[in-house]
Amino acid sequence: DDEQSWSDDNAFSKTNSRAASQATVNHVLETEVSSFAVHKLSRYGFDSEHCQAVLKSYNGNIGASLEHLLLQCFTEKFGKRMQLTEASVQANIKDCFEQRQEEALALHSICGDKFIERIQNRVWTITLELTYLTNVLSKTKQGNSITSNIVNTNSQGICKYYLRGDCKFGSRCKFKHETSHNEKSLPPIREDAHLKLNAPVYELE
C-alpha cells in the first residue's frame, strides 16, 4: 500500500509539473506576441486579431507568420494555381539556397550598400530613393494647400476667378481683385527633392 501510495503521489507530482511547465510556455507565447509584431503585419492589410492568432501559432516569428498569411491570401484568391508543381516538390533545398545566394550577390552588385541581408538566408532589405513617388506626394500636399487657400480667400471676399486669372466681370465683379496674404506667402514649387540630403527613402523588405 505504501509503495502504491508513493507511486500515485509521484505520478500526481509529475502531472502537476507538466501542467505548470505548460502554463509557463503558454505565458511566454502570450508575451512574445508583441504589439510591434501585430502592427508590422497589420501594415500589409491583414486583420489585427488574425495577425495575433497566427503569431501565437508561430511563437512570435514575424517572417513565418507573414509567409503563412500571404500563402493563405494567395490560396484563397488563386485556388488551384497555388498548388505545388512537380518540379517544386522535387527541388533540392541545397540548390535553393545556392540560387538564393546567387540572387543576393546580384542584388548587392546592382544596389551596393543599399542592399542589406538583415537575417542570413531569410530577410533582405533594399533602400530605394523613389524621387517620382516623393514628387507625387509633395504635389498632392501642395494641391491640398492651394485648395485650402482658395477656400480661405472665398471667406475673405476675394474673387477666386481673379486668382486663377480668368475673371470675366472685371471692375463689375462684386468680389475683391487682390492677392490674399496666404497666397503671397506660398513658396514656389521646386522639383529638387532628389538634391536634398534628407530626401525621404523607402525600404523594400
Domain with 112, as residue range(s), is: 84-138
**Does the structure show a pLDDT above 60 at 82?**
yes
In the chain, at which residue ranges do the beta strands (DSSP E only) sit? 115-119, 123-128, 202-204
Q: How many domains does the chain have?
A: 2
Q: Are residues 44 and 89 in the same domain?
A: no
Q: Are residues 94 and 64 in the same domain?
A: no
Calculate the dihedral angle through the C-alpha atoms of 160, 166, 172, 175, rounding to the nearest 10 degrees: 10
Does residue 186 contact residue 149 with C-beta atoms inside 8 Å?
yes
Question: Is residue 103 situated within a structural domain?
Answer: yes
Q: Are residues 63 and 88 in the same domain?
A: no
Question: Is residue 9 situated within a structural domain?
Answer: no
- The x, y and z cell numbers of residue 194, run together, are 532628389
Percentage of the chain exceeding pLDDT 70: 65
Predicted confidence at residue 150, as pLDDT, reads 54
**Does the structure show a pLDDT above 60 at 111?**
yes
Question: Is residue 163 situated within a structural domain?
Answer: no
Q: Are residues 76 and 55 in the same domain?
A: yes
Question: Is residue 30 situated within a structural domain?
Answer: no
Top-confidence range, 50-59, 89-98, 153-162: 50-59
Top-confidence range, 43-57, 72-86, 154-168: 43-57
Let me know how many helices (H) and strands (E) the chain has, helices first.
9, 3
Q: Are residues 74 and 116 in the same domain?
A: no
Predicted confidence at residue 46, as pLDDT, reads 92
Top-confidence residue, 17 or 157: 157
Q: Are residues 66 and 94 in the same domain?
A: no
Percentage of the chain exceeding pLDDT 90: 16
Question: Is residue 58 situated within a structural domain?
Answer: yes
Q: Are residues 90 and 110 in the same domain?
A: yes
Mean pLDDT, residues 108-122: 87
The H-assigned helical ranges of 82-168 are 86-89, 93-111, 131-155, 160-164
Top-confidence residue, 72 or 31: 72
Q: Are residues 96 and 50 in the same domain?
A: no
**Does the structure show a pLDDT above 70 at 31?**
no
Question: Is residue 167 situated within a structural domain?
Answer: no
The CB density around residue 54, as the number of other CB atoms within 10 Å, is 23
Q: Are residues 134 and 92 in the same domain?
A: yes
Considering the chain, what is the average pLDDT of its residues?
73
Total-model pTM: 0.43
Predicted confidence at residue 158, as pLDDT, reads 79
Rounded-to-integer distance, Cα 120 and Cα 15, Å: 41
Rounded-to-integer distance, Cα 129 and Cα 81, Å: 35
Residue with cell 503671397: 184
**Does the structure show a pLDDT above 50 at 26?**
no
Rounded-to-integer distance, Cα 193 and Cα 132, Å: 9
Cα angle 73, 78, 83 (rounded to 5 degrees) comes to 95
Q: Are residues 91 and 117 in the same domain?
A: yes
Q: Which of 104, 119, 138 marks a domain boundary?
A: 138
